[in-house]
Amino acid sequence: MLEVQQAAYAGNYAVHLVFSDGKAGTADLAPLVCNDRRPVFARLREQAAFRSFKVAHSALVWDDTLDIAPEYLYYLAFKDDPALQEQFRQWGYIRP
């Protein structure tokens, strides 16, 4: 099971992450935070609110009301890695 082990603010809406498989990368959450119309993301547009994340339950969490799954964060961090494309297809992040 993939887990987020560490997370650090990396500027703007980006988070540098370390995963349980030892890989580390940066996930740009700007498209999600800025373009998603669901109200839960609207409050994260304020940088102070965005930076208030923590790692809990193997995911990135804000105020115990919003969490982003480790698999999606992994996809965002490594979406351009050719070796991971099949895994991302299996997870449903890339359409066949």
Token look-up 């992994």 returns 74
Is position 67 within any domain? yes
Residue 65 lies in a domain: yes
pTM for the complete prediction? 0.92
What is the DSSP secondary structure assignment for residue 79, as one 8-state letter? T
Total domains in the fold of the chain: 1
96 is a domain residue: no
**By residue range, what is the domain housing residue 51?**
4-91
Could you tell me if 14 and 30 are in contact, meaning their C-beta atoms sit under 8 angstroms apart? Answer: yes
Does pLDDT of 96 surpass 90? Answer: no
Instruction: Evaluate whether residue 39 is within a structural domain.
Output: yes
Residue 71 in contact with residue 91, Cβ under 8 Å?
yes
pLDDT (0 to 100) of residue 35: 93
Helical H segments across the chain, by residue range: 30-35, 39-42, 47-50, 70-78, 85-91
- From residue 86, give the alpha-carbon distance in Å to each of 30, 39, 83, 89: 25, 32, 7, 5
pLDDT in tens, 14-71: 999 999 999 999 999 999 999 998 888 988 999 999 999 999 999 999 987 899 999 9
Q: Is residue 57 part of a domain?
A: yes
Taking residues 63-89, report their average pLDDT.
95
- Looking up residue 70, the CATH number of its domain turns out to be 3.30.2020.10
Within a domain: 42: yes
